[in-house]
């Protein structure tokens, strides 16, 4: 993708020497296996993430097909549970997180004027262990007794005493995923702290870099806790400890406390980089600087800080004392304040701008609206008394899919379209890209919006079969699901076309775009910023 | 216009399904209790506040999208901060949140006060059924999904209360404060009746509590809300609220029935059932209670539920076999059926398992054998 | 200005230092995950978060009885899966004055022909009440070996702390009986209730 026979006019001079480096690189598969180049690794991450997105999406299709009608027709309940579990794990750890890491790899060095990531060899490792992790996870599905069937949250004792024999594989693969993302996070932090161009002061950093820095700190803070809790699951199941077994003095609810201590920051790990992406795209297409840059940084930091003291809002029904419920309710509601600030800032950025609506902007605008809807349902879920009614129903499923699909994934699409010309050197086919956007937008709402109603009407989540009253809405949801699934194939068409050819992209293909990445030619040369650039 | 492209299909679709799904409520239930009513009001309050905020924010945004577009020839402004405005829109949400927190706190305090209950029911979840024990009265029983498997497998037309019906519902008196204590035999379950706004996890080894006071007689249906394994979707909750006098007479009749049954069982101990009768009752019992895991062909699900066909224990050790059916097996999904099935059914199902699918041990287990295992310290 | 090579060595040193620190954070957080286990126990002891009662006898201190009010203490016995032994309390519930020592008996029977070890796990609801239920003697402090056919009467002695808030009128004390015969004698981990 990053062939660099073409040199663009802007900043060409500074990249003369980079040609030579490229000629030493190994060719073929070895180039990708051994690469330490941040752009190659970024590409690998992105391709991997999208592949996993399709695999996890295929599982969602199985789920929606089974739920198309009441009754059991396609899969047995045990396999259904494996599908919901592995769908969740793949989407969280295999699609969204690697996609963000891929974007970070590609863009952070170019945004801060660094020649590469700070720890290129570790970068190679952190990517190449990922396929193994997911091969193990997916392989466990074919074991006797099936793969993990206890939900991506793997609550004990369902995941310990009562799980199938493949649980060890699940634990092992989560460990590898954890190691991969910790290495990735360390790399991001070291790069941002040490490799900024001399003039790139903290408050000049693009917001994508800022949000990723904060995300990376969240990652190194909570991924080890996840590693700890899966280790406890492992020893409880196989080595006779009783962390979560009442008979031995443990407490199954403690599992949930430790898990959600990881789990809630994890939710923000999957959305903070989105904030950064949208904060880059909206100003570019509104042709107006981002409103409230400083408050964006502070809001991100405070969301990250608050994420450590709200975890028990996932556990209101476990039987907490009143003061606990109140504390976690108030803290959770507080998150609405910095999140609101962000949305207001984006709207203020658009206000009195001169907007155009290219595909990245369309995805970014859809993000703002639909993520906010997810935020509203999140606020409703924070209110403990009503959470008792919403908890573990499709209302929750609707909520987190709005935040993760129309939130995180839409922002990743926005980023992909925004930077695709920089990566491939070609403009993408606008017609198909717009088709992708509109089909996704309509189908995603047909898919997830009615889920709110299902949840309010009382349909629990993670069930393979349901009462007759839910039949019609489930059918609509399934149709939306199939349409959304198919729409994603359009993205493959657009990317493959752009990678193969198309209209040559200028160094800065978007009129209002700002940032160092647009000062290098498109496609970005294999090596950029070997001497640090000047920052205005 | 993009806007029209976006809105029209959404509206059409929404309208089409709103008319289609006329038998499913599109909003949270108001429920029947005072608490559920307050929860509903709280839900609507927060919902309206969100709608207003959404209307304002999206209104400004769409106005901007329509008016401030390059194609209209506008020149972009260049402002990018305003401390005053930024403080304002930090402070206003804060105030709104306080406005939400006050009613929420009050409702929560009311919900958590479970004192002065007149009736206590111990609710025990197990894979995949509920067990109810009236602590002040000598009565306990299991409550199991009543929907026939053939309906689930699409071989029979589905009934009106498909998946929301049980063999023996929980019965509680109206206008009485009823306290529920929740616990579990195996994994975490969650007992949920939407119309009472009661949802509480049943944790193994721990107890939780919740309460309700139902003003109107009726049948109320709910489901297990916490993923509890394979048949999580098949363990509904059904509660019947009866007038207090009716409840008392129901209670008396149930206790009398329970005693009569026990007396009858003792009387039947001497009875020797012939093989085909045992096998016949055994097959029916097996299909209803055992086949979900061990499968109708006795081969189980490898790695999850052991096969009974050709099983060492089934083929040889009758005592161990009876014990496991009576009391279950610790640390597995195998529950004890000693309290759920009659001696006759237990004898029949054990006989069936020892003689079906080519397990031709030829052994007959009689009610007296079961009773012997249950009673005696051999 | 520095030459590129100078810059590189500088960077490498700075990188090493920073990576070292970050790895320390990672290690610390991994440790913290496990530290949450005892922390959770301590937190529960203080607040009664999960309704666990004291796992060792409280030392007898003279407490003034509060004769102005009564608290209903309800006893629930529950057998875990696979446990066939009849297990009952002598009373379904009892009304006590806070501060007054009370003794209740529980009976367990081993109807099988093998020796077994039982362990009762207590849980109190509402959870906040747990810290006010002070036990001087309880069969749940220890594992209970039962000989074949043995019937054992086990006393449980407790008082309600007089400073318990007035809004707790009923305390439910539930015991779940587990068969730990096959667990071996070793305490499973640091937080085993019965040492």
Residue C66 lies in a domain: no
pLDDT at residue B292, rounded to an integer: 81
Domain of C40 in residue numbering reads as 1-47
pLDDT at C46 over 50: yes
Question: Strand order in C71-79's β-sheet?
Answer: C93-96, C71-79, C170-179, C116-125, C144-146
Q: C125, B207: Cβ pair inside 8 Å?
A: yes
pLDDT at residue C64, rounded to an integer: 78
Long-range contacts of B305-309 (CB under 8 A, 24+ apart): B305/B333, B308/B353, B308/B357, B308/B359, B309/B357, B309/B358, B309/B359
- Average pLDDT along chain A: 92
DSSP A536: -
Q: Could you tell me if C41 and C86 lie in one domain? A: no
Q: Could you tell me if C80 and C43 lie in one domain? A: no
CA–CA distance, A465 with B233 (Å, rounded to integer): 6
Q: Which CATH number fits domain B119-264: 3.40.50.2000, 1.10.260.40, 2.60.40.420, 3.40.50.150?
A: 2.60.40.420
The catalytic residues of A are: 87, 116, 152, 180-181, 264, 266, 268, 279, 313-314, 339, 342, 461
Q: Is B74 on the interface with A (CB under 8 A)?
A: yes
Residue C148 lies in a domain: yes
Q: Total structural domains in chain C?
A: 2
Structure-block tokens of residue B337? 């059926």
Of B58, B92, B56, B81, the residue nearest A345 (C-alpha): B81
CA–CA distance, A177 with A173 (Å, rounded to integer): 6
- Interface confidence, given as ipTM, is 0.90
Tell me what the mean pLDDT of segment A304-325 comes to.
93
User: Is residue C173 exposed (0-12), middle (13-18) or buried (19+ Cβ within 10 Å)?
Assistant: buried
From chain A, pick out residues whose CB is under 8 angstroms from the CB of C49: 320-321, 324
Q: What is the CATH number of domain B24-111?
A: 1.10.287.90
Q: Give B101-141 as a 3 state SS string.
A: HHHHHHHHHHHCCCCCCCEEEEEEEECCEEEEEECCCCEEE
Q: Could you tell me if C75 and C30 lie in one domain? A: no
Helices (H), A355-429: 359-382, 384-390, 394-403, 410-424
Band of pLDDT at residue B13, cut at 50, 70 and 90: low
Band of pLDDT at residue C60, cut at 50, 70 and 90: low
Long-range contacts of A113-116 (CB under 8 A, 24+ apart): A113/A196, A113/A197, A113/A200, A113/A516, A113/A529, A113/A532, A113/A533, A113/A535, A114/A191, A114/A195, A114/A196, A114/A197, A114/A529, A114/A532, A115/A195, A115/A527, A115/A528, A115/A529, A115/A530, A116/A36, A116/A37, A116/A38, A116/A527
Q: B204, C123: Cβ pair inside 8 Å?
A: no
Residue C60 lies in a domain: no
pLDDT at residue A453, rounded to an integer: 96
pLDDT at A5 over 60: no
pLDDT at C185 over 50: no
Residue C55 lies in a domain: no
DSSP strand pairing (C133-137 vs C102-109): unpaired
CA–CA distance, C101 with C97 (Å, rounded to integer): 9
Residue C64 lies in a domain: no
From chain A, pick out residues whose CB is under 8 angstroms from the CB of B208: 318-319
Q: Could you tell me if C80 and C26 lie in one domain? A: no
Give the rounded percent of residues in chain A with a pLDDT score beyond 70. 95
pLDDT at residue B376, rounded to an integer: 53
pLDDT at C190 over 90: no
From chain C, pick out residues whose CB is under 8 angstroms from the CB of B186: 81
pLDDT at residue A145, rounded to an integer: 83
Of C151, C135, C143, the residue nearest C183 (C-alpha): C143
CA–CA distance, B273 with B114 (Å, rounded to integer): 50
pLDDT at residue B271, rounded to an integer: 77
Q: Is B123 on the interface with A (CB under 8 A)?
A: no
- Average pLDDT along chain B: 87
Most confident of A41-55, B272-286, C47-61, C126-140: A41-55
- Say if CB B168 and CB B143 are below 8 A apart: yes
Count of residues in chain C: 195
Tell me what the mean pLDDT of segment A92-101 comes to.
97
Q: A242, C128: Cβ pair inside 8 Å?
A: no
* Phi-psi label, residue C179: left if phi above 0, alpha if psi -120 to 50, beta otherwise: beta
pLDDT at B8 over 70: no
From chain B, pick out residues whose CB is under 8 angstroms from the CB of A356: 69-71
Q: Which residues in chain C (66-125) have CB-CB distances under 8 A to chain A?
A: 80, 119, 121, 125
Structure-model confidence comparison of residues B7 and B29, the more confident one: B29
Residue ranges per structural domain of chain B? 24-111, 119-264, 271-375
Tell me what the mean pLDDT of segment A428-455 comes to.
96
Q: Could you tell me if C12 and C77 lie in one domain? A: no
- Say if CB A86 and CB A141 are below 8 A apart: yes
Chains near B (3 or more Cβ pairs under 8 Å)? A, C
pLDDT at residue C62, rounded to an integer: 66
Q: Could you tell me if C76 and C41 lie in one domain? A: no
CA–CA distance, B204 with B185 (Å, rounded to integer): 6
Tell me what the mean pLDDT of segment B351-368 comes to.
86
Q: What is the CATH number of domain B271-375?
A: 1.10.760.10
Residue C190 lies in a domain: no
Helix axes A252-269 and A293-306, enclosed angle (nearest 10)? 170
pLDDT at residue C135, rounded to an integer: 87
Residue C105 lies in a domain: yes
Instruction: State how far residue A521 is from chain B, nearest Cα, in angstroms.
Output: 26
Of A24-38, A179-193, C52-66, the one with minimum mean pLDDT is: C52-66
Class of domain A13-519: mainly alpha
pLDDT at residue C4, rounded to an integer: 61
Q: What is the CATH number of the domain that holds C93?
A: 2.60.370.10
Instruction: State how far residue C77 is from chain A, nearest Cα, in angstroms.
Output: 14
Band of pLDDT at residue B378, cut at 50, 70 and 90: very low
């Amino acid at each position: 993708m990053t062939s660099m026979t073409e040199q663009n006019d802007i900043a060409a001079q500074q990249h003369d020497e980079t040609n030579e480096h490229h000629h030493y690189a190994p060719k073929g598969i070895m180039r990708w296996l051994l690469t330490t180049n941040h752009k190659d690794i970024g590409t690998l991450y992105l391709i991997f993430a999208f592949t996993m997105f399709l695999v996890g999406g295929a599982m969602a299709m199985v789920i929606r097909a089974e739920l198309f009608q009441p009754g059991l027709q396609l899969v047995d309940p045990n396999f259904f549970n494996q599908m919901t579990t592995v769908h969740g794990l793949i989407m969280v750890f295999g699609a969204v997180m690697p996609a963000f890491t891929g974007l970070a790899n590609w863009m952070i060095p170019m945004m801060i004027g660094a020649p590469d990531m700070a720890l290129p060899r570790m970068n190679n490792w952190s990517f190449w262990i990922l396929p193994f992790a997911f091969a193990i996870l997916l392989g466990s599905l074919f074991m006797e007794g099936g793969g993990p069937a206890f939900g991506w949250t793997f609550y004990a004792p369902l995941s310990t005493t009562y799980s199938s024999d493949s649980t060890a594989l699940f634990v092992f693969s989560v460990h590898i995923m954890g190691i991969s993302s910790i290495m990735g996070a360390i790399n991001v932090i070291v790069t941002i702290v040490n490799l900024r161009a001399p003039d790139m002061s903290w408050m000049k950093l693009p917001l994508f870099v800022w949000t990723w820095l904060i995300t990376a700190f969240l990652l190194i803070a909570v991924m080890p806790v996840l590693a700890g809790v899966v280790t406890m699951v492992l020893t409880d199941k196989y080595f006779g400890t009783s962390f979560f077994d009442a008979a031995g003095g443990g407490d199954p609810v403690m599992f949930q406390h430790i898990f959600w201590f990881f789990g809630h920051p994890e939710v923000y790990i999957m959305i903070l980089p989105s904030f950064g992406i949208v904060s880059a795209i909206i100003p570019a297409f509104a042709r107006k600087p981002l409103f409230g840059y400083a408050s964006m940084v502070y809001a991100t930091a405070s969301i990250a800080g608050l994420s450590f003291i709200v975890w028990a809002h996932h556990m209101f029904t476990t039987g907490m004392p009143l003061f606990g419920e109140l504390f976690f309710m108030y803290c959770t509601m507080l998150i609405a304040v910095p999140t609101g600030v962000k949305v207001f800032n984006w709207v203020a950025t658009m206000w009195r701008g001169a907007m155009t609506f290219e595909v990245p902007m369309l995805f970014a605008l859809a993000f703002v609206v639909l993520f906010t809807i997810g935020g509203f349902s999140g606020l409703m879920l924070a209110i403990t008394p009503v959470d008792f009614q919403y908890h573990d129903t499709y209302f929750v499923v609707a909520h987190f899919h709005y935040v993760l699909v129309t939130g995180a994934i839409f922002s990743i699409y926005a980023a992909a379209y925004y930077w695709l010309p920089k990566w491939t050197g070609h403009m993408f086919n606008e017609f198909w890209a717009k088709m992708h956007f509109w089909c996704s937008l309509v189908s995603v709402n047909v898919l997830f919006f009615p889920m709110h109603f299902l949840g309010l009407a009382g349909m629990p989540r993670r069930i393979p079969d349901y009462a007759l009253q839910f039949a019609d809405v489930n059918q609509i949801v399934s149709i939306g699901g199939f349409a959304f699934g198919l729409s994603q194939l359009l993205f493959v068409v657009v990317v493959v076309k752009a990678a193969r050819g198309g209209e040559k992209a200028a160094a800065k293909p978007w009129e209002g775009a700002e940032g160092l990445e647009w000062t290098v030619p498109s496609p970005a040369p294999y090596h950029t910023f070997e001497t640090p650039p000047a920052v205005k | 216009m993009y806007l029209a492209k976006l809105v029209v299909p959404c509206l059409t679709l929404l309208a089409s399904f709103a008319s289609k799904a006329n038998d499913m409520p599109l909003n949270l239930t108001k429920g029947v209790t005072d608490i559920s009513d307050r929860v509903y009001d709280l839900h609507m309050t927060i919902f309206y506040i969100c709608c207003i905020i959404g209307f304002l924010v999206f209104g400004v945004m769409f106005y901007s999208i329509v008016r401030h577009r390059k194609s209209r020839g506008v020149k972009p402004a260049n402002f990018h901060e305003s401390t005053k405005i930024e403080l304002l829109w930090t402070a206003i949400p804060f105030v709104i949140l306080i406005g939400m927190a006050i009613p929420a706190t009050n409702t929560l305090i009311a919900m958590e006060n479970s004192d002065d209950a007149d009736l206590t029911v111990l609710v025990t979840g197990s894979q995949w059924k509920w067990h109810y024990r009236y602590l002040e009265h000598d009565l306990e029983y299991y409550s199991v999904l009543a929907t026939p498997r053939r309906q689930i497998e699409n071989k029979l037309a589905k009934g009106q209360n498909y998946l929301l019906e049980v063999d023996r519902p929980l019965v509680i008196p109206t206008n009485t404060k009823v306290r529920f204590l929740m616990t579990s035999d195996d994994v975490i379950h969650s007992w949920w009746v939407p119309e009472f706004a009661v949802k509480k996890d049943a944790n193994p080894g721990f107890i939780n509590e919740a309460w309700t006071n139902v003003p109107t007689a009726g049948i109320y249906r709910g489901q297990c809300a916490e993923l509890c394994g394979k048949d999580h979707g098949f363990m509904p909750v059904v509660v019947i609220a009866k007038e207090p006098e009716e409840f008392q007479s129901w209670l008396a009749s149930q206790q009398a029935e329970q005693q009569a049954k026990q007396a009858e069982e003792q009387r039947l101990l001497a009875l020797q059932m012939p093989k085909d009768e045992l096998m016949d009752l055994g097959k029916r019992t097996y299909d209803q209670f055992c086949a979900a895991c061990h499968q109708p062909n006795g081969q189980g699900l490898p790695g999850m539920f052991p096969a009974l066909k050709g099983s060492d224990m089934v083929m040889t050790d009758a005592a161990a076999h009876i014990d496991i059916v009576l009391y279950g097996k610790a640390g597995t999904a195998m529950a004890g059926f000693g309290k759920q099935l009659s001696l006759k059914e237990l004898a029949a199902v054990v006989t069936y398992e020892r003689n079906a699918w080519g397990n031709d041990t030829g052994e007959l287990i009689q009610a007296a054998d079961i009773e012997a295992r249950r009673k005696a310290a051999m | 200005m520095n030459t590129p090579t100078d810059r590189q060595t500088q960077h490498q040193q700075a990188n090493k230092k920073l990576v070292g620190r970050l790895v320390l954070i990672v290690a610390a957080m991994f440790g913290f995950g496990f530290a949450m286990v005892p922390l959770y126990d301590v937190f529960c002891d203080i607040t009664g978060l999960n309704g666990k009662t004291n796992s060792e006898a409280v030392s007898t201190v003279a407490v003034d009885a509060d004769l102005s009010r009564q608290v209903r203490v309800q006893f629930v016995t529950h057998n875990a899966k696979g446990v066939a032994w009849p297990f009952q309390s002598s009373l379904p519930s009892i009304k006590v004055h806070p501060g007054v020592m009370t003794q209740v008996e529980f009976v367990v029977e081993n109807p099988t022909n093998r020796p077994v070890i039982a362990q009762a796990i207590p849980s109190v609801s509402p959870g906040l009440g747990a810290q006010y239920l002070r036990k001087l003697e309880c069969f749940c402090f220890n594992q209970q070996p039962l000989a074949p056919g043995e019937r054992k009467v086990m006393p449980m002695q407790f008082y309600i702390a007089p400073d318990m808030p007035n809004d707790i009128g009923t305390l439910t004390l539930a015991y779940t009986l587990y068969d730990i015969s096959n667990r071996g004698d070793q305490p499973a981990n640091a937080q085993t209730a019965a040492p």
